[in-house]
Chains A and B, each alone.
Chain A
C-alpha cells in the first residue's frame, strides 16, 4: 500500500510532468510533421528516418558552427536550421518516390528510412571517426527559463519552476507549434489545399489545386518539423548516437492514428505516451520492476492505446 501511495505522489509531482513534456517534445514535433504529410494524402512512414537525419543534422550544424567561431546562441540556431534542412532533404527523397514517381508511399517511406539510417551512420563515422556516436557538442546545451536570474528573483512557486520553466527552447517551440499547425492546416489556403488533396483528389484537381506541388509542400513541412524533432533528441543528450530515434518515429505515427488528423490530438496522444515513460524510472525503483521490461514500457503503452482506440472505432 505504501508503494502505491509513493507512486501516486510521484505521478502528481511537477518533476513527472516536466519529464513527460521533455520526452514528448520530439514526438510532438515529428507527429505534427507527419500530420502535414498525412493530411495531404501521403502517409509519412519515414518519420523515423527524419528524426535520425535531424539529430545528426543538429550535431553537425552545431559542430561546424562552433568550429567557425560562432557564439553559443548562433551555433544553436545553425544547428536547428541544419536539422530542419536534413529533415527536408529526406522528405524530398520521399516526395520524388511517392509523389513524383507515384510509388507506394509505405515502400518509399521504408526506403527513405533505410537511406537515413545508413547515411547518418556513414556521416557519423566519416566526420567523427566513430560508428556509434559523436562527441558532445557544447553549443547544444541551452539554458532554461528557470535558471535565468530575473525569473529566480520573482519567487515563483516551485511547481511552476519545475513543471513549466525547466525546459529548453524546443519544448516551448513544440507547444507553440500545436496551435500554429492547427491554424495553418485549417485556416490558410495552403492548409485547405492539403486537406483537399488528401481528402478528395478529384475535387482538389477540379478546384485547380496541383496535387503534386501541394503534397510536396506538405512533405517540406513534415521534413522540417520532424528534423526539429530530431534536433530535440540530439539536444537532450548534446550528441548524436546511432539509431538514437529508437522507434520514436513510429510512436509519433501511432500518435497520429490516435489524433485522427487534429493538431491538438497530437499533443494529447504524445503526452499520453510520454507520461508512462517519465514514470518508468520511479516505477522500477518503487516496485523493483525489472529493467529490461521497464525499457519496453513506452512501446507497450503505445501498443495498448493503439489497440484500445482501434477497438473503439471498430464498434
Chain B
C-alpha cells in the first residue's frame, strides 16, 4: 500500500516537474531560433496528451496496443530483476524473437497450406510463438553467461551490447536471406493471413471498446495472462522462491543450496522469452512482416522504463505499461495540438522513472547503513 501510494505521489511530482519544463521549452526554443517566445500552457499540453488519447475509441485502442507489447518487454526486465539482475537487452531479445517468429510463419506457410483454416492458424501462430520465445530465451541466456555472482553487474553491460549484435545480425538475415524483393524496403515478405492474430474488435460486444481498424489483438489478453502467471510463479512456485531468495540475499540463497548460475540463466532466459513473444504483437498482430521500421518504437528499451516504473512487480508493470502506452500515443497528439517537440514525452517518461526510483529509495526500510 505504501509502495502504491509512493508511486502515485512520485508520478504527481514528475508531472509537476514536467509542467515546469514544458513552460520553459518555448524560452529555450527562442534562444535557438532568435524568434520571440510563443508560450505553451502545460495544462494544454497535458490535455492534448491524455485527453487526445483517452477521449476517443481509436486513441484508447492504440494506447492499449502499445501497452500489450510493453507488458511483455517489461516482464523481460521484471523477472531477472526479482533475482537482482538487470536485463537491458530486451530490445535485442525482441528483435531476434521477431525474426524467428516471422521465419517460422514464412517457413511453415507452404507446409500447412491445404490444412483447414483453424488448424492452420493454431499451427502457424503456435510455431511462431515457440520460435520467438526460444530465440528471445537463447539471447537472454547468453547475457546470463556473463554474470559474475557477487561481483558487479556484468549482465547490464553484456545484455546491452548484445542488442547491437542482434540488430546487426537481424538486419543481415533480412537483407540477404529473407528479403522481399518487391517492396523496395528492407523487410521480409508478408506472413500468411492464417498466421495473423485475431482482433479483439471482432468479438461481439468488444467493437464498442476497441476500434476495428486498430491492431488490438489477442496478444493483449495473452500479455495480461503472462503478467498474472509471473506474479503467481513468484509467489507460489519453487522457482519464484529461488529468484526472490537470490534477489534478497545472494549469499544466504547460495548457502541454502540455490545455485546462483541456475537462477541467472533461468530468469534471464524466461525474461528473454517474454521479450521475444512481444514481437508477435507487432509482427503477427500489426505489420504482418519483419523489418527495422516494425521495431522503430523501441519497445524493448521502453520495457525497461515500464518495468522500473512498475517497481519490478509483474502486476505493477500493467498500469505502468498503460501509462506509457498513453504517452507513446500522446507523442503524436502533442505535436499536432501544441508547438512542443515529440521528445517532451521522453523527458516525461524519464522524470516519472527518476521520481519512482527516488520514492522507492525514500520508502525503503533503512538498516544501519
A5 to B353, CA, bound (A): 53
Decide: A122 and B361 in contact? CB cutoff 8 A.
no
Decide: A115 and B148 in contact? CB cutoff 8 A.
no
A199 to B348, CA, bound (A): 37
Decide: A125 and B175 in contact? CB cutoff 8 A.
no
Among A108, A119, A131, A296, contact of B347 (Cβ-Cβ < 8 Å): A119
A310 to B143, CA, bound (A): 13
Decide: A296 and B350 in contact? CB cutoff 8 A.
no
Decide: B341 and A125 in contact? CB cutoff 8 A.
yes
Among B154, B163, B350, B361, contact of A306 (Cβ-Cβ < 8 Å): B154
Among B156, B350, B358, B362, contact of A118 (Cβ-Cβ < 8 Å): B350
Which residues 340-369 in B have Cβ within 8 Å of A in the complex?
A: 341-344, 346-351, 353-354, 357-358, 360-362, 364, 366, 369
Decide: B28 and A313 in contact? CB cutoff 8 A.
no
A69 to B257, CA, bound (A): 68
User: What are the residues of chain B within 8 A of A119 when measuring CB–CB?
Assistant: 347, 350
User: What are the residues of chain B within 8 A of A295 when measuring CB–CB?
Assistant: 164, 168
Tell me whether A251 and B161 are in contact in the complex, defined as CB-CB below 8 angstroms, given that A101-B358, A122-B341 are known contacts: yes
Q: How far is the CB of A138 from chain B (nearest CB, A)?
A: 17
User: What are the residues of chain B within 8 A of A250 when measuring CB–CB?
Assistant: 156-157, 160-161
Decide: B308 and A253 in contact? CB cutoff 8 A.
no
Decide: B33 and A129 in contact? CB cutoff 8 A.
yes
Subset of 14 A-B contacts with CB under 8 Å = A43-B153, A104-B361, A122-B341, A122-B346, A125-B341, A126-B341, A127-B29, A127-B32, A253-B156, A293-B168, A299-B161, A306-B146, A313-B148, A314-B148
B residues neighboring A (CB under 8 Å):
25, 28-29, 31-33, 86, 88, 145-146, 148, 152-154, 156-158, 160-165, 167-169, 171-172, 175-176, 304-305, 308, 341-344, 346-351, 353-354, 357-358, 360-362, 364, 366, 369
Sample of 4 more A-B contacts, CB < 8 Å, known A103-B361, A250-B161, A306-B157: A45-B153, A112-B354, A253-B156, A254-B161
A residues neighboring B (CB under 8 Å):
43, 45, 93, 96-97, 101-104, 106-108, 110-112, 114-115, 117-119, 121-129, 131, 246-247, 250-251, 253-254, 257, 290, 292-293, 295-296, 299-300, 302-303, 306-307, 310, 313-314
